[in-house]
Amino acid sequence: MASYKYCLCFTRKFRWNDAEPPADVKAAFAAISDGGAQIGPQQLRRFLAETQRETAATDAYAERIIEQIRQQRHRQLLTKVARPLISVEDFYQYLFSDELNPPIKSQVHHDMTAPVSHYFIYTGHNSYLTGNQLSSDCSDVPIIKALQRGVRVIELDMWPNSTKDNIDILHGRTLTTPVALLKCLKSIKEYAFVASPYPVVITLEDHLTPDLQAKVAQMVTETFGDILFYPESDTIQEFPSPESLKNKIILSTKPPKEYLEAKSFKEENRSVNENVSKEEEGWGKEVPDPKTEMKSYEHEDDENEKDHDDDDADDEDDGQKRLKSSPVEYKCLITIKAGKPKGTLKDALRVDLDKVRRLSLSEHQLAKAAASHGGDLVRFTHRNILRIYPKGTRVTSTNYNPMLGWMHGAQMVALNMQGYGRSLWLMHGFYRANGGCGYVKKPHFLLQEGPHGEVFNPEADLPVKKTLKVKVYLGDGWRIDFKHTHFDAYSPPDFYTKVGIAGVPGDTVMKKTKIIEDNWVPVWDEEFTFPLRIPELALLRVEVHEYDMSEKDDFGGQTCLPVSELRPGIRAVPLYDRKGEKYKSVRLLMRFEFV
């Protein structure tokens, strides 16, 4: 008798069900519908006022929302009826729409008439690099991407080209391939105001001879024309406001060495040459060797670390060539001057009541300054601009935590926009504030002194000012945006959410939900409480991960939201990928409440 072997092959089917509206949503609907099956504009307006704290909502506004809900729900234009109504399912879909029910305000609402130094400004570092700091291509493409995202400060490092008759943009003394200055300028002009009408600052690191500086002046004036802002005088006591600089391009750079030497002889011979390089403090720095630096980029600074970013020390021969003063047509274009300080750190941070300026510190220098001269840092930023940049050993374009700079009032906390990771997620989230215009008004405590000359101290033991309650109901959209085998080849994913705060040390914390197994639409229904000492600087951090027993947990999305911008009530929260790009469908349903 023949024998047979049977192979039983099992194929796991990826099934899912749409999640039921959470109990809070059903209860809210029941409360406003008085037990009925549908609600109209008046009932929706009541919900918007009582639960969502949108007290200015009118019946007409609620009626428009209902029409949008019905159109979005049914994917077609519906004929108007005498009394438009929506069901609990429609109501739930409305709450879960980040287009109709976003988590933060979407309009510019800060006072934009104060001096530029009163704002945090969305700032990029080495904006022309496509990848690492030592060997990647230089291009206008990352500049365009940054401007499209809303970045307002673009950094260009200017060097003579190989024939010394034109200007290249590149990371000097590395293996990066150059891009022409003119190409970068034209792209800046084209994309400067696509995301925001507020001014774009170009910080120039200048390694040019006077004849090439004159060529830069010609390129800049011809390219930008009347959108280029010209300072009214050689020295200003207060920076202009973002409102007064709308749709304008501003240049910022620092005086050359010959200007500093000549200043004592002839005050009116002011010239501006080199950009505030990453060695503004006056401490000499080394240049990275591409062959050795790649090996050490992950290591933290040690006591004798050198910052290897943009060079300040000219070669002796090059210094001889630069003894001539910069051309007048170049000098007159510089609005934000960045004088190179001499002496101690306290000297560098001394406030001059007769003029304002810009100073740059590396992240390493900032950490040391915050520990020993925190009050001087804050006081300096009341009127002057402080720029922070990544340490030179971050050759793969990683980033540092920007919070320390913001806590001390630094307006230009510069990150590598071509990288990604949690530091950049914080940056993207921070500048979602104020309608995403790239300028965020600093809180009042970072702009003034107390009655005895005291200034804000982020390390102080501060009392709780406000408490934020966050409820994570559920999530959806992964089944649309991801392949069904992305997280697990044989079963649906096991999602959990991490929720926390990034802010001053006393506010910083991270918590997480339970793991929901085998479900594309996880329902957590968990609440977290965050007492906040400085809510004005706090960011709500949200990350979703898929639990993996044997390997590293898979990434399922993230977002950071300014706590000061959160809209109370039940809100749809869209998530973003590792590089900060918004997913098409992935989102969470959450509730925010301040007590």
Q: What is the pLDDT of residues 457-507, one digit of tens each?
A: 999 999 999 999 999 999 999 999 999 999 998 999 999 999 999 999 999
Among all chains, which residue has been given the structure tokens 């999602």?
495
pLDDT at 80: 54
d(C-alpha 423, C-alpha 406), whole Å: 13
| 53-88 per-residue burial string, b: 16 or more CB within 10 A, e: under 16 | ebeebeeeebbebbbebbeebeeeeeeeeeebbbbb
Q: Is 375 found in the same domain as 248?
A: yes
Mean of the pLDDT values across residues 37-60? Answer: 95
Q: Which residues contact 525 (CB under 8 A, 6 or more apart)?
A: 22, 23, 471, 472, 473, 474
Model confidence over 358-372: pLDDT tens digits?
999 999 999 999 999
Identity of residue 505: P
Q: Is residue 553 part of a domain?
A: yes
Least Cα distance to 95 among 546, 425, 471 occurs for: 471
Q: Is residue 440 part of a domain?
A: no
Mean of the pLDDT values across residues 552-574? Answer: 98
More confident residue, 9 or 229: 229
d(C-alpha 31, C-alpha 120), whole Å: 43
Q: Is 242 found in the same domain as 162?
A: yes
Given 414, 430, 446, the domain boundary residue is 430
Q: Is residue 12 part of a domain?
A: no
Q: Is 382 found in the same domain as 485?
A: no
pLDDT at 19: 81
- Per-chain mean pLDDT for the chain: 86
Q: Is residue 442 part of a domain?
A: no
pLDDT at 75: 56
pLDDT confidence bin for 18, thresholds 50/70/90: confident
Residue 401 in tokens: 């935590």
As a dihedral over the C-alpha atoms of residue 562, residue 389, residue 407, residue 404, rounded to 10 degrees, the angle is: 100
The greatest distance separating any two alpha carbons of the chain, rounded to the nearest whole angstrom, comes to 113
Residue 90: give its domain's CATH number. Answer: 1.10.238
Give first-to-last CA distance, the chain, whole Å.
80
User: How far lies 10's CA from each of 190, 297, 409, 508, in Å?
Assistant: 56, 47, 60, 47
Residue 463 in tokens: 């009392």
| 187-199 per-residue burial string, b: 16 or more CB within 10 A, e: under 16 | bbbebbbebbbbb
Q: Is 127 found in the same domain as 91?
A: no
Q: Is 555 found in the same domain as 410?
A: no
Q: Is 174 found in the same domain as 248?
A: yes
pLDDT at 310: 45
Q: Is 485 found in the same domain as 395?
A: no
pLDDT confidence bin for 9, thresholds 50/70/90: very low
pLDDT at 326: 75
Reply yes or no on whether the pLDDT at 308 is more than 90.
no
Known catalytic residues? 125, 171
Among all chains, which residue has been given the structure tokens 């749409």?
18
Mean of the pLDDT values across residues 409-437? Answer: 97
DSSP string, 406-455: HHTT-SEEEE-TTS-SHHHHHHHHHTTSGGG-SEEEPPGGGS---TTS--
Q: What are phi and psi of 45, to 5 degrees?
A: -60, -35
Model confidence over 212-222: pLDDT tens digits?
999 999 999 99
d(C-alpha 538, C-alpha 563), whole Å: 6
Given 95, 111, 135, the domain boundary residue is 95
More confident residue, 284 or 439: 439
Environment class of 205 (CB within 10 Å of its CB; exposed 0-12, middle 13-18, buried 19+): buried
pLDDT at 325: 66
Q: Is 127 found in the same domain as 90?
A: no
Tell me how many domains the chain contains.
3
Reply yes or no on whether the pLDDT at 348 is more than 70.
yes
Q: Is 165 found in the same domain as 57?
A: no
Reply yes or no on whether the pLDDT at 262 is more than 50.
no
Model confidence over 78-100: pLDDT tens digits?
555 556 899 999 999 999 999 99
More confident residue, 586 or 299: 586
pLDDT confidence bin for 178, thresholds 50/70/90: very high
Q: Is 380 found in the same domain as 508?
A: no
CB 423 within 8 A of CB 395: no
CB 346 within 8 A of CB 379: no
358: containing domain: 123-284+323-430
pLDDT at 84: 85
Q: Is residue 155 part of a domain?
A: yes
Provide the percentage of residues in the chain whose pLDDT is more than 90: 76
Q: Is residue 140 part of a domain?
A: yes
Residue 512: give its domain's CATH number. Answer: 2.60.40.150
pLDDT at 295: 34
Q: Is residue 584 part of a domain?
A: yes
CB 63 within 8 A of CB 41: yes
d(C-alpha 435, C-alpha 53), whole Å: 19
Q: Is residue 253 part of a domain?
A: yes
Angle at CA of residue 363, ends 271 and 507, nearest 5°: 130
Q: Is 398 found in the same domain as 273?
A: yes
CB 412 within 8 A of CB 442: no
pTM for this one?
0.87
Q: Is 267 found in the same domain as 405?
A: yes
